[in-house]
Amino acid sequence: MIRVMLIDDEADALKLLEILLKQVGNVEIAGTYLNPIQAIDALNQTMVDAVFLDIQMPGMKGTEAARRIRSISPELPIIFTTAYAEYALEAFEIDSTDYLLKPFTVGRLENTVARIIKNLYKADLALLNKAPVPSVQTLGGFHIVSPLKTGTEVVWKTKKERELCAFLIHHEGKSVNAGVIIEALWPGYDLDKAKSYLYTCLSYLRRSLTDQGIPIHIRKGNQGFSAELNDITTDASPFEILLNQILDEENMHEKHYHQMNEMYTGDYMGECNFDWAIARQLEIKSLYVRVLRKWNRYYHGQEKLSLAADSLQRLLTIFPDSEIDGRALIRLHLKLGNRSEAYRVCLQLEQAVRIQLGTELEEETMLLLQQTMERQSAQSNES
C-alpha cells in the first residue's frame, strides 16, 4: 500500500483522480488539495510516498510547486497531471517520475503506480547497500562480495574451498560434524585422504576470509565446524520470509510483487552443482512458484492483465515445458491484443516440449498454437 497526495485546482479533477486510483488499488489517499501552498505546508507534517500534481494552477504553477517539494523531500516521486504536453521538458528537468496527459485511463495509472512502487523499493535497497558489509549471495549461484572493494567477489584458492564455505553457510551457523562434511564434499574418497583435504580446505578458507576482509569466522567445536556469520545475512533467508509473508497476507501489497522478483536472481546455489543443496533449492523454488500463482490469481481478479501476464511469464521461465501455464499466457496475450507476444510464447513452448523433452504437445496446446500462428500469419499478410 502506498500513500499519495493529490493537488489540483479543479475539484472535479481531484475527485476523478481519486476514483481512478481507488480502482487501481493498493493506494491510500493521504490528502487532496486545491491550493498547492496548503499542500506544501501539509507535506511537512504528512508522510507520503508520492505526489500527483497539476501544472496549470492559479497562484503557483505546478512546476514551481514541484521545486518547493523537492527542497523539502528531494527523492519524493512527483507525477504531473496536466492537459498540456508543452511542459514535458520542464517536468523532465525537475526529474518527475511520470507525466500524465489528461484524460488518462486506469491502465495508464496502473503503470504509474507500478513505477512508484518499483522506485520506492530501489530507494530502500540503495539505503541498505550503503553500509560497507559483505554480501553473501546464494540465489543464482554462490558469491561473497568483499566490502574492501565495491563489487569485488572473494577469490577462492580451490573449488572445494568455495564449496566448503557454501556448505557451512548453508547450515546457518550450526555446527556440522566432520564426517557429514566429508560425505557431502568427498563422497567415496578414502577417509584419511578426505580428512586431509578437509583440513587443508579449512586452512585455505580461514585465510581467504581474513585476507579479503570478510567477517565470517570458521569455528571448531566438539560437534564439528561452523561458520559464524556475525549478523551477515544471506539473500535466501529474507527471500523466504517475504514469500511466506505474501502467502499469509489477505490484502496483497503490490510493492511485495516487485520486491520478490528483484530478490529472485535464480535457483538456490544455482549452477554450482552442489548435490547437498538440491533439497533446499527445490523447496525455495516451490515456494516461489506458489507465490507467483497467488499473484497471478490476484491480478486476474483485479483485471490487471499485463501483470497477470508477467507472473505467468516468470512461471514459464522456471518451468518452460509447462503447457498449462503456456496456454494461459498465450490466451492472455491474445486477449490483450499482443499477437506477436502470443506467437513468441508458442515458439518457446514448442521448443521446450518437442525439441528439449522430445515429446509431442498436448492436443489442446496444438490447437491453440495452430490458431495463434494462423492469426500471426494473417496479420503479417495484412501489413
Q: In whole angstroms, how far apart are CA 77 and each of 13, 69, 184?
A: 20, 10, 50
Q: In whole angstroms, how far apart are CA 46 and each of 50, 76, 107?
A: 11, 12, 28
Q: Does residue 165 lie in a domain region? A: yes
State the CATH number of the domain containing residue 169: 1.10.10.10
Beta strands in 216-352 (DSSP E): 217-221, 224-228
Residue 186, pLDDT score: 96
Residue 128 predicted with pLDDT over 80? no
Residue 160 shares a structural domain with residue 85: no
Residue 133, pLDDT score: 57
Among 228, 250, 282, which residue terminates a domain? Answer: 228
As a whole number of angstroms, the distance between CA 2 and CA 25 comes to: 10
Predicted confidence band of residue 131 (pLDDT cuts 50, 70, 90): very low
Residue 97 shares a structural domain with residue 210: no
What percentage of the chain carries pLDDT values higher than 70? Answer: 93
As a whole number of angstroms, the distance between CA 209 and CA 197 comes to: 18
Mean pLDDT of 132-145: 84
Residue 148, pLDDT score: 67
Predicted confidence band of residue 96 (pLDDT cuts 50, 70, 90): confident
CA 191 centroid distance within chain? 44
Exposure string (b/e) for 27-46, b if CB count within 10 Å is 16 or more?
bebbbbbbebeebbeebeee
As a whole number of angstroms, the distance between CA 40 and CA 64 comes to: 11
Residue 43 shares a structural domain with residue 96: yes
As a whole number of angstroms, the distance between CA 6 and CA 63 comes to: 14
Residue 142 shares a structural domain with residue 124: no
**Which of 321, 314, 326 minimizes the C-alpha distance to 364?**
326
Q: Does residue 314 lie in a domain region? A: no
User: Range with the lowest mean pLDDT among 35-44, 145-154, 301-310?
Assistant: 145-154
203-246 per-position pLDDT tens digit:
999 989 888 888 899 988 877 899 998 878 789 999 999 999 99
Residue 126 predicted with pLDDT over 60? no
Q: Within a 13 Å sphere around the CA of 275, how many CA atoms are in the beta-carbon half? A: 6
Residue 20 shares a structural domain with residue 101: yes
Q: Does residue 288 lie in a domain region? A: no
State the CATH number of the domain containing residue 83: 3.40.50.2300
As a whole number of angstroms, the distance between CA 367 and CA 374 comes to: 11
Q: Does residue 310 lie in a domain region? A: no
As a whole number of angstroms, the distance between CA 119 and CA 196 comes to: 51
Residue 199, pLDDT score: 92
As a whole number of angstroms, the distance between CA 159 and CA 185 comes to: 11
Residue 59 shares a structural domain with residue 164: no
Residue 117 shares a structural domain with residue 193: no
Residue 140 shares a structural domain with residue 120: no
* Helix or strand (DSSP H, E) at 4: strand 2-7
Q: Does residue 54 lie in a domain region? A: yes
Paired residues of 227 in beta bridges: 218
What percentage of the chain carries pLDDT values higher than 90? Answer: 57
Strand 98-101 relative to strand 217-221: parallel, antiparallel, unpaired? unpaired
Among 129, 152, 182, which residue terminates a domain? Answer: 129
Mean pLDDT of 247-270: 92
Task: Give 254's contacts (C-beta < 8 A, 6+ positions apart).
Answer: 25, 26, 113, 114, 117
Residue 231, pLDDT score: 75
Q: What is the CA radius of gyration of the chain?
A: 27
Give the number of residues written for the chain: 383
Exposure string (b/e) for 299-321, b if CB count within 10 Å is 16 or more?
bbebebbebbbbbbbbbbeeebb
Q: Does residue 273 lie in a domain region? A: no
Q: In whole angstroms, how far apart are CA 338 and each of 372, 375, 379?
A: 11, 11, 11
Residue 123 shares a structural domain with residue 147: no
Residue 291, pLDDT score: 97
Residue 6 shares a structural domain with residue 93: yes
DSSP 7: E
Residue 132 predicted with pLDDT over 90? no
Among 228, 257, 291, which residue terminates a domain? Answer: 228
Residue 118, pLDDT score: 79
Q: Does residue 274 lie in a domain region? A: no
154-173 per-position pLDDT tens digit:
999 999 999 999 999 999 98
Residue 321, pLDDT score: 93
Please return the burial class of 18, using the count of CB atoms within 10 Å of its CB with bins 0-12, 13-18 and 19+.
Answer: middle
Residue 101 shares a structural domain with residue 185: no
Average pLDDT value for the chain: 89
DSSP 87: G
Residue 346 shares a structural domain with residue 382: yes
Number of domains in the chain: 3
Residue 259 predicted with pLDDT over 80? yes
Q: Does residue 251 lie in a domain region? A: no
Map residue 287 onto helix, strand or coil. helix
Amino acid at 157: K
Q: Which domain holds residue 211?
A: 135-228
Residue 17, pLDDT score: 94
Q: In whole angstroms, how far apart are CA 51 and each of 2, 19, 32, 262?
A: 11, 16, 10, 25
Report for 133-137, 162-166, 341-345, 361-365: range of highest mean pLDDT: 162-166
DSSP assignment of 355-372: III--PPPHHHHHHHHHH
